[in-house]
Amino acid sequence: MINLFGTHIASLSIHRVGNKSRNEPMFLSSDPYKLDDELTPLMKEFFLKPFREKEENYFHFSHEADLEFHELYNIVSAIFENPNSVHELSKKITSHLFNQSEHPHIKNGEVYVAYLENVQLDNVKMDAIGIFKSELKQDFLQFSEKENQLDALLEQGVNLNKLDKGCLIFNANKEEGYKVLSVDSNRYDTRYWIENFLAVEALADDNFYTKKYLKFCQDFAKDIVLPAEDKKQEVMFMNRAVNHFAKNDNFEETAFMNEVIDNPDLIPEFQNYKAEKSPKYSIEDLTTFPIANTAVTAARKKIKNIINLDTNIQIKLDFINPESADKFVEKGWDEEKQMYYYLVYFNKEEKS
């Protein structure tokens, strides 16, 4: 878990990259940018806000042969060894990004390389390197007074409320390729940033396994529980699954199946589904692992707990108290109307 509240921008370099396929040039600043008291908090918010709002999915630098051949990994390592070299090496980072900018869809833009101090990762203070890129420009009006007339001038600039691309590289786990977070607001060139420039792959940590296993459970509920039973049981299965993760520090698959799968007939179905589908989720041999609470919280927000009926009625089930749905919601069949129904018991209507 990261805490960026006390993070300090110790150095900032700003360059520009064009698109090589369109013969657009690269511009490298000769000196670091001098931040002032007015601009510093604005730039810090511009760079770091997306990482506070985004789910923490970590990556690490990876190379098919060895990390010693990974260009960005070597540059980053040199900066961490000598932070005073960050500006000169930021030019190499920008050149590396420029060399990946050959697809016609890739936009030109400003590149910011920041050396960050006092970053907290899992309650440990450390340094980090931030690499950010602004691409999309917005129109804005600039006004000036001329004698008795107010003139409006149309200009273009960067919106400080939206970072187009960025990554944080933490000075941790160097031997494994560091820990990296990435954001990308523009989906038209994702491979260019993640695969070509950063050359990273997902870090298989507790957060990764928790997220992947819950996604596996969600697909099992949709593909197996729903056809075998009904929508209510699909929702209730995921309800029990998420609650099991939420109340335990460690995952153990046998205990999970015994607690979460109500219908004993579905246990072999669950095992068969995992044997068939597990490579898709990278959980082939995974039966125990520490549970990451942040991944559970993120999964709970994404999982739908609503039964949508074709009569334009919705039934929302409580994810925190699943026993209520078991006790007070019944499904049946009405012979006269030739329709299914849900019977809901209650004492009084709550005021909204």
Q: For residue range 325-346, what is the model confidence (pLDDT) as tens digits?
A: 777 888 888 898 899 888 888 8
Q: How many CB atoms lie within 10 A of CB 4?
A: 18
Whether the full predicted model's pTM is greater than 0.85, yes or no, is no
Q: How confident is the model at residue 21 (pLDDT cuts 50, 70, 90)?
A: confident
* Other beta carbons within 10 Å of 119: 23
Are residues 36 and 109 in contact, defined by beta-carbon separation less than 8 angstroms? no
Q: pLDDT digit string (tens) for 158-175?
A: 989 999 999 999 999 999
pLDDT beyond 80 at 322: no
Would you say 7 and 48 are in contact if contact means Cβ atoms under 8 Å apart? yes
SS3 166: strand
Answer whether 85's CB lies under 8 Å from 79's CB: yes
pLDDT value at residue 316: 82
Q: What is the pLDDT of residue 297?
A: 85
Q: What is the pLDDT of residue 72?
A: 97
CA angle 135, 91, 111 (to 5 degrees): 15
Residues in the chain: 352
What pLDDT is recorded for position 111? 97
Domain borders along the chain are: 2-135+162-203, 214-344
- Mean pLDDT for 110-115 is 97
| Statement: residue 147 has pLDDT above 90 | no
What's the angle, vertex CA 97, arms to CA 93 and CA 102, rounded to 5? 160
Per-residue model confidence (pLDDT) at position 47:
96
Q: What is the mean pLDDT of residues 282-305?
A: 87
Q: Is the pLDDT of residue 53 over 90?
A: no
Q: Note the pLDDT of residue 148.
A: 87
Where does the pLDDT of residue 201 fall: very low under 50, low under 70, confident under 90, or very high at 90 and above?
very high
At 36-51, the pLDDT tens digits run 999 999 999 999 999 9
Phi, psi angles (nearest 5°) of residue 344: -115, 125
- Paired residues of 111 in beta bridges: 15, 133
Q: Tell me which of 100-109, 221-230, 300-309 is least confident.
A: 300-309
Distance in angstroms (rounded) separating the CA atoms of residues 25 and 44: 28
pLDDT over 90 for what percent of the chain?
61
The model's confidence at residue 319, banded by pLDDT at 50, 70 and 90, is low
Mean pLDDT of the chain: 90
- The structure tokens listed for 242 are 């998420």
Whole-number pLDDT of residue 352: 65
Confidence grade of residue 188 (pLDDT, cut at 50, 70, 90): low
pLDDT one-digit tens code per residue, 237-262: 998 999 999 999 999 999 999 999 98
Mean pLDDT of 137-157: 89
20-34, 73-87, 309-323: range with lowest mean pLDDT:
309-323
pLDDT confidence tier of residue 33, bands split at 50, 70 and 90: very high
